[in-house]
Amino acid sequence: MTEKRKGFPFSSTDQLSIIFQKLGTPSEEDRSFITDQKAIEYLDAFPEYSRVDLREFYKGGGDDALDLLGCFLQFNPYFRIKINEALEHPFLADVRKPEMEKFAEETIDFEFEKEMLDRDRLRELFVEEILYFKKIREESS
């Protein structure tokens, strides 16, 4: 059921509402990176939710696993764990092999992120990527 809250359509089944029901409604500090006033007003329309303890959903999850997951699940991208920090996290200590890691030799191009990705364009990009890696595999065989 959709209702109006502060002039915005709201439903408890909207994606952000579902996220906030688990991770909590973002605080002022969490929203500090947002500069668009309309976006801030939109976030103000959500009810206050508290962050749920991840152990409720992942009862078998160990402390390190849940800690790392919590580090990833931050609303503010500046508060999220960085990739190098994540690789150093204790959860990965038993499986990480730094000597096996490779660094990209060239800059990775994400130009597609700047365009509108409808179903047809997304399919086109997937096919391009599959063909690219298929060609590499054939050349190395």
Tell me the C-alpha distance between 81 and 64, whole Å: 14
As a whole number, mean pLDDT of residues 98-115 equals 87
The structure's pTM equals 0.68
Of 86, 18, 77, 80, nearest to 52 by C-alpha is 18
Whether pLDDT at 115 is above 90: no
CB 50 within 8 A of CB 24: yes
3-state secondary structure of 48: coil
Tell me the C-alpha distance between 6 and 46, whole Å: 9
Residue-wise pLDDT for 67-90, tens only, equals 999 999 999 999 999 999 999 999
Q: Looking at residue 59, what is its pLDDT?
A: 92
Q: Looking at residue 110, what is its pLDDT?
A: 84
As a whole number, mean pLDDT of residues 98-110 equals 88
Return the domain boundaries, the chain: 1-52, 111-140
**The one-letter amino acid at 47:** P
